[in-house]
Structure 1
């Protein structure tokens, strides 16, 4: 299986880095794994629209060709990111805005979107500092938003969403348990 991990966290020592390590170390060696580390690659999340960069040509942007090829070649996309201010990091939002563009990832037939990335699957792994009851009652779960409002529109089926809630108030035992679960699920892929 061809797997692309889209990783969005700037701290090489943080918990999200531990999640990435756990996933990488537990995926079978029979898989072909590619990592897109948006911060390490200094990905430019800003959309540039002017007379040279028009929205209708975004699908053909040569700066995004390598990223699109990695996505096109993948069977499974694994997203790893923290929830900040009730949303994904701006660098990941910009990656989605620029890379999963109309004409590449989806198009419209009349009023309805048609996904161009059918047959692909996704696993979304998020962390946050919010207690789970508050997320469920008040805030949007951005892993769910990514799954239902972005990936589904592009034809990608989310097979699993994993969330580590309230990291700032969690015990070492709870964090280690989450990492073990991530490792076990990675082994089953």
Structure 2
């Protein structure tokens, strides 16, 4: 199995970064994982701004040479892991800008005249590891599960990624947030995962 981890947090001393390290550590101890690549969107300076004009057309996004490296990473991966905080009930704008550009027509999906398009990333799976200041029940009860609906249905299933696992950790700015237990949970998952 080949694992691509997309890390989206501007601070390498954050709890999100600690979760990234646990993903890497667990994956490196798992004989089922042949390779792991990490894409740090902030460190790379990924430009999340979507631009269309007379020189850059939406219909050509799937062949934009500037994004070929990132398309190749997605093609390569069997499992895509997203590590990010939840800000204002959703992932950071940087990660959403990545989706805007990478989940392009004729790369991630193909319209064929039906109600829903054909997902071109079929066979891949995803893991979403997110942290938030508020309690874990906040997105479910107060926001109508908006974060998971966005990630699972509006984004990942739309492009054919049906198997999506969530680690949605709340109360992460509290000293009672059980950080070590949650970090170990992620480590153990990646150490043992078979597919």
Match of 1:183 in 2: 187
1:70 is paired with a residue of what secondary structure?
Answer: helix
Match of 1:59 in 2: 62
Q: Please tell me whether residue 42 in structure 1 is matched to residue 45 in structure 2.
A: yes
How far apart in 1 are the matches of 2:185 and 2:138? 23
Match of 1:138 in 2: 142
For the aligned residue pairs, the C-alpha RMSD in angstroms reads 1.4
**Which structure 1 segments of 5+ residues have no match?**
none
Match of 1:156 in 2: 161
Match of 2:12 in 1: 12
Q: Deviations over 1:31-81 (max 9, x none)?
A: 210111000000000011110001111111111101001101110000101
Normalization by structure 1: what TM-score? 0.94
1:19 is paired with a residue of what secondary structure?
Answer: helix
**Which structure 2 segments of 5+ residues have no match?**
none
Map 1:25-40; keep pairs closer than 5 Å: 25-27=25-27, 28=30, 30-40=33-43
